[in-house]
Amino acid sequence: MNSWNYEVFWKELQSQIKNSISKEEFSMWFNNISYHSSEENTIILSVPSNFFMDQIKQRYLPLIKEIIGELSGNKINVSFSIVKKNIKEENSKQSNDQPEEIKKHPDLREDYSFKNFVIGENNSFAANAAIAISNNPGKSYNPFLIYGGVGLGKTHLLQAIGHAVHENSSDKKKIVFVTAENFTNEFIASLQKNKPHTFKNKYRSLDLLLIDDIHFFQNKEGLQEELFHTFNALYGAKKQMVFTCDRPVSELKNITDRMKSRFEMGLNVELNPPAFETRLAILKSKVESLKISISNDILELIAQNITSNVRDLESALTKLVAYAELVNKKITKEIAQKQLIDIFTTSKPCNISIDLIQKKVAEYFNLSHIDLRGRKRTKAIAFPRQIGMYIARELTEYSTTEVGSDFGGRDHTTVMHAIQKIEGSLKSDPTMEATINNIIRSIKENNSKQ
C-alpha cells in the first residue's frame, strides 16, 4: 500500500453523501461509481460510461472534491476511468439487491424515468424538485406544476415522478397519469352513462394524480368545476398532484380564478430550452440507450444546430440512424450535414422582425415602440431598449451593427454594452429571466400567427 492510497477516504465520502441526499438519488448515481486507484494527490474513480462521467462531473464533482479534501487535509484531484460493467456480474448484483422484480406501471412509459432524464442548467430546479417530491409525495410542493414549451421534458419529468413513487412504495399506491384531454373525455363519458360517481370515486381516492397539458382545460367550465372538487379532496387528504402546462398559469385564459389559485398554491417551475452542453449530453445518452456508434463531432454538429428542444434533437438522431441502417453506410459529418439540413433550418428561430420585437418589448413596459428607437436615455426607456437589443440578438441573425441601426442608429458597441448589461442582470436578478422569457414567448406566439 503506497502512501497515497485514498480508498478509505472514498468509503467515508460515500457514507457522508448517503446521509445528505435521497436514497433514490444515491442509488442512481453513487451505486455506479467505485474506487479504481490512487496516484499522488489524485483519486481515480471508475464509472460505466462517458455519459455517466459527464453527469457526475456536472452534478457532484465540486462536492466530491470538497469532501475528499477535508478528509485528507490536502487538495486532491479527481479523475475518472471508464470501466464497462460485466453483464453477468451486474445481473447477479441485481438479483441479490432486488429479489423481486418491480412490475411497471401500465400508465407510464418505461423510458420516462429519472435515470433517463439529463439534467442541465435549464431544468435542474424542476428535476431536483421532482426527485424531492417523489421521495415524499404530498408532504411539500403540493401541487407541483411544470410549464414550458413543447419538447422540453415536461411529460418525461411528470411520468418519472410516477415511476419513482410506484417503485419506491412498499404499499400499493394508487397512481394515475392522464392527459387533460383524456381526463375531459372520461368525465364527459361518465355523464353520458349517468355514472359521474364512478369518475369521482376513481380520481378522488388516488395517492398520486399526474395530469399532462392542463391548458386543455381552458373554456371548459363544467370540467373545471369537477377538477376543483377533485383537487380539494386530494389536497385535503395530503395526496400529491403534479400538472404540466405550456405556459405560466397566469397566462391561461378562461380558467376560473379559484382554479388558477389552486394551481399556483404549490410550486410552479419553468423548463427552458437546453444549453449546448445539455443538448450534447442528451444526444450521448440517447446514443448509449440505442447501443449505436456515432462520433462526437457529429453529435456536436447536431447540438450546435438544433437549439429548440429535446424532441427535435431526438428526431435528428433518429433520422441519421434510419439512414445508416437503410443505406448501410457509416455516418460521416458530411452525410449528417446533408441529411439534417431541413431539420437544422426549421429548428432555428423563424423570421422574426426587429420591429415585432420592439413592439412586444414596448407593450410589456407600457411604452411606444418609437420610444425604443428614440434618443431619450431615461432609465424607464433605456432599460427596455437594452432588453430589446438583447432579445433581437437572441432571436434573429442580425449583426450588432444591424440591430443598432434599427434601434435609432446606435453603433454596435452600444448594442454589445446592452447585451452585457442584460447578461449580468440575468445572473444577479432572479426576476430577469422570467421577464425575458415572457417577452420572448409573446413574440413567438405573435409571429406564429402571421
Pick from 322, 347, 372: which residue ends a domain? 347
Taking 90 as the threshold, does the pLDDT of residue 287 lie above it? no
CA–CA distance, 117 with 159 (Å, rounded to integer): 11
**In this structure, what CATH number is given to the domain that contains residue 71?**
3.30.300.180
**For the domain that residue 328 is a member of, what is the CATH number?**
1.10.8.60
Structural domain includes residue 109: no
The CATH number of the domain holding residue 417 is 1.10.1750.10
Average pLDDT, the chain: 84
- Please indicate, yes or no, whether residues 254 and 385 belong to a single structural domain of this protein: no
Domain boundary (246, 270, 294) is at 270
Q: At residue 246, does pLDDT exceed 60?
A: yes
Backbone angles phi, psi at 38, to 5 degrees: -135, 145
For residues 138 and 172, give the distance between their C-alpha atoms in angstroms, rounded to a whole number. Answer: 16
- Asked if 142 and 238 sit in the same domain, the reply is yes
Q: What is the pLDDT of residue 177?
A: 95
Neighbours of 339 (CB within 10 A): 17
Residue 343 in contact with residue 349, Cβ under 8 Å?
Answer: no
Please report which confidence band the pLDDT of residue 90 belongs to, taking 50, 70 and 90 as the band edges: very low
- Using alpha carbons, select from 139, 156, 134 the residue that is nearest to residue 212: 156
CATH number of residue 165's parent domain: 3.40.50.300
Q: Is residue 102 part of a domain?
A: no
Cα 441 → chain centroid: 17
Look at residue 400 and tell me if it is in a domain.
yes
* Lowest mean per-residue pLDDT among 25-39, 193-207, 405-419: 25-39
Same domain, 15 and 66: yes
d(CA 18, CA 212): 33
Per-residue pLDDT, 89: 43
Contacts of 183 (CB under 8 A, 6+ apart): 211, 223, 227
- What residues have CB less than 8 Å from 191, skipping those under 6 apart? none
Grid cell listed for 220: 371548459
In this structure, the strands spanning 144-147 and 175-179 are unpaired
Model confidence pLDDT, tens digit, residues 63-89: 888 888 888 888 888 998 887 544 334
**Amino acid at site 230:** T
Instruction: Return the pLDDT at 304.
Output: 86
Residues 146 and 242 in one domain: yes
> What number of other Cβ atoms are within 10 A of residue 357's Cβ?
28
Does residue 94 belong to any structural domain of this protein?
no
- Flag whether 101 is in a domain: no
Residue 384 has pLDDT above 90, yes or no: yes
The pLDDT value recorded for residue 232 is: 94
Cell numbers for 185 = 373525455
Is residue 284 helix, strand or coil?
helix
Mean pLDDT of 404-408: 88
Return the amino acid letter for 124: S
Write out the three cell numbers for 431. Answer: 426576476
Residue 367 zone, left/alpha/beta (φ > 0; ψ -120 to 50; rest): beta
Residue 244's alpha-carbon distances to 175, 240, 255, 313, 417, in angstroms, are 16, 14, 15, 21, 37
| Cell output for 404 | 443598432
pLDDT of res. 361: 93
Pairing of strands 208-212, 240-245: parallel
Q: Which of 248, 270, 292 is the last residue of a domain?
A: 270
pLDDT at 161: 94
Q: What is the mean pLDDT of residues 118-144?
A: 87
Amino acid at 103: K
Cα–Cα dist 430/108, whole Å: 34
Model pLDDT, residue 93: 44
How many domains are there within the chain? 4
Domain contains 403 = yes
Same domain assignment for residues 323 and 390: no
Phi then psi dihedrals of residue 148, to 5 deg? 160, 175
15-25 in b/e burial notation, b at 16+ Cβ within 10 A?
eebeeebbebb
- Kindly state whether residues 205 and 70 are assigned to the same domain: no
- 365/400 Cα distance (integer angstroms): 23
pLDDT in tens, 1-10: 345 678 888 8
Residue with the larger pLDDT of the pair 94 and 53? 53
420 and 376 in one domain?
yes
Q: What is the mean pLDDT of residues 133-145?
A: 89
- Of residues 306 and 95, more confidently modeled: 306
Residue among 251, 243, 245, 248 at smallest CA distance from 227: 243
Q: What is the mean pLDDT of residues 103-108?
A: 82
123 with 223, same domain: the answer is yes
Confidence of residue 98 (pLDDT cuts 50, 70, 90): very low
Q: Could you give the CA distance from residue 135 to residue 107 in angstroms, rounded to a whole number?
A: 20
Give the type of residue at 158.
Answer: L
In a domain, 108, yes or no: no
Whether residues 133 and 170 fall in one domain: yes
Domain residues for the domain of 283 are: 276-347
Give the pLDDT of residue 347: 55
Q: Is residue 326 part of a domain?
A: yes
User: Does 245 lie in the same domain as 145?
Assistant: yes
Q: Is there a contact between 243 and 146 (Cβ–Cβ < 8 Å)? A: yes
Residues 374 and 445 in one domain: yes
Higher pLDDT, 59 or 404: 404
- Residues 377, 240 within the same domain: no
- pLDDT tens digits, one per residue of 179-235: 999 999 999 999 999 998 999 999 999 999 999 999 999 889 889 999 999 999 999
- Evaluate if residue 121 carries a pLDDT over 90: no
